Amino acid sequence: MSAIRVRFAPSPTGYLHVGGARTALFNWLLARNLGGTFILRIEDTDVERSTKESVNAILEGMEWLGLNWDEGPFYQSDSFALYKEHVQKMLDNGTAYRCFCSAEELGGKRDLAMQEGRKPKYDGTCRERSDQPDAPYVVRFRAPQGGEVAFDDLIKGRIAFPAEELDDLIIQRTDGTPTYNFCVVIDDANMRISHVIRGDDHVNNTPRQIQLYQALGFPVPQFAHVPMILGSDKARLSKRHGATSVISYRDMGYLPEALINYLVRLGWSHGDDEIFSRDEMVRMFDIGNVGRSASVFNPDKLNWLNAHYIKNCDAERLADLLLPHISSRGVSTLNGPDLMAVVRTLQERAQTLEEMAERALFFYHAPQSYDEAALAKFDKAHLAAVYGVVAERLAASEADSSAGFDALFKEICTEKGWKMAQVGQPTRIALSGGTQAPGIGEIIEALGIEESVRRINAAREFVAA
């Protein structure tokens, strides 16, 4: 193991968002590429908003995507004693101080600053006070004054903030609980994190955190701030653009490798390549090749990748993945063709497992109705003749493969002087109810001759009625 240690640090206040998943993926890839360690840390110090359900949803999403972690999950809520200890240390060595200013006083000062067009900032009233009244207090960081705080972001380049813009950050609230930026620093230092890769909504926290590392005498890690994901209207990706939870993509019938491939390209590039296996990603990933600008989420591209992975997926695995999508429609696959055979007929043309499930249903359920508009394109006598001949010839056929059945249909066409569409389309309607179905030979191979003949006879009765 190298000294490379990265972490994904979600706050469990909701499901695993695709943006979070991409941050996790970049961390995971960096660790795997450099032989480092990937740590999962649950940032649940906000007790009000953190829930067990969210933790479970995050773990489920990570597991589904195959983003396995080497250490953790660690919970910040288990570390309160550690945070307290460091607050005390800082109070003792003077890098922090107690602030007794009341909320009203602070509010008044803030309003005044705003009125006078100044940036609201703590004015340092308690910085140098020597008395320690018996009153509620917060603990503030004694932020170094003057100069600037700068860092070389691995994605965005050099970023500098004038120190005077940085407040004396509260590190412990009146109720004794530690604040967010403080816990992050203690944990990252304690876990010996070498690279902090996170969303660029945290850029403004970084200079404060760097000052804290320095005050605590901890080495400062490298930072990489990943640009946001936007919706098609260039606003930050949210529910109003469609699904944003990783698990909802699973439920909508996406393969994890398709979502992972999609997410890695959302910001990262390697030449003009679009398709990456997991191994290729791990081998080629370089945080320096993540772009500086925000990326736009494009559902069409995700569908294209999903179709690619469905097409190339092993039929047995695909059948396993497809099964819950069929079962959730109240359909059992027990009394019908082997699901693997059905999968093979559908995987060439499906964009999602949901779509595949929809198209697989007729294999397990004889049509209850027919696409009458499609049937109306043929006259009744022709349909009766086609169904009669096809049923008879199929029943007598010894073919057992799609190629064999296709050959039989060609033979029938030649003999009767029919065009393929004049036979194929009515047969497809008889077998599936509609016209959107795989090739005739493939359907019959999966359904078997007996069931196919039964369906053709049913359609024949329907048109005769």
Instruction: Cite the active site residues.
Output: 239
Q: Which residue of this chain has its Cβ atom nearest to ligand GLU in the complex?
A: 198
C-alpha to C-alpha distance for 373 and 365, rounded to whole angstroms: 21
Q: How far is CA 57 from CA 62, 175, 247, 254, 377, in A?
A: 9, 30, 8, 17, 51
Size of the site for ligand GLU (CB under 6 A): 7
Nearest to 57 by CA among 73, 45, 71: 73
Whichever of 46 and 354 has its CB closer to ligand GLU, that residue is 46
Report DSSP letters for 304-366, one per residue: HHHHHHHHTS-HHHHHHHHHHHHHTTT--SSSSS-HHHHHHHHTTT-SSHHHHHHHHHHHHS-
Q: Which tokens belong to 46?
A: 């906000």
Phi, psi dihedral angles at 206 (to 5 degrees): -60, -45
* Per-residue x/- track, 2-31, ligand GLU (CB under 6 A): -------xxx--------------------
Amino acid type, 124: G
Which one of residues 98, 109, 156, 202 is an interface residue with ligand GLU (CB under 6 A)? 202
Residues 6+ apart with CB under 8 A from 389: 412, 416
By CB under 6 A, name the one of 39, 40, 184, 341 that touches ligand GLU.
184
Using alpha carbons, list the distances in angstroms from residue 136 to 128, 240, 423: 17, 43, 87
Among the listed residues 366, 374, 362, the one whose alpha carbon sits nearest the alpha carbon of residue 435: 374
Cβ-contact 42, 8 below 8 angstroms = no
Report, in Å, the least distance between residue 209 CB and ligand GLU: 8
Among the listed residues 196, 159, 148, 154, the one whose alpha carbon sits nearest the alpha carbon of residue 41: 196
Nearest distance, CB of residue 5 and ligand GLU, angstroms: 14
**CB-neighbour burial class of residue 84 (10 A; exposed 0-12, middle 13-18, buried 19+):** middle
Q: Give least dist CB 50 to ligand GLU, A.
A: 10
Tell the smallest beta-carbon distance from residue 157 to ligand GLU (Å): 19
* Complete DSSP assignment for 385-440: HHHHHHHHHHHH----SHHHHHHHHHHHHHHHT--HHHHHHHHHHHHHSSS--S-H
Q: Which residue number, 140 or 208, has a Cβ lying nearer to ligand GLU?
A: 208
Q: State the nearest-atom distance from the C-beta of 240 to ligand GLU, in Å.
A: 20
Tell which one of 17, 22, 198, 265 touches ligand GLU (CB under 6 A): 198
Burial (Cβ within 10 Å: 0-12, 13-18, ≥19) of residue 147 = exposed
Main-chain dihedrals φ then ψ at residue 51, nearest 5 degrees: -130, 155
43 touching ligand GLU, by CB under 6 A: yes
Instruction: Verify binding: residue 174, ligand GLU, rule CB under 6 A.
Output: no
383 burial class (0-12, 13-18, 19+ CB within 10 angstroms)?
A: buried
Give burial (CB, 10 Å; 0-12/13-18/19+) of 447: buried
Contact residues for ligand GLU, defined by CB under 6 A: 9-11, 43, 184, 198, 202
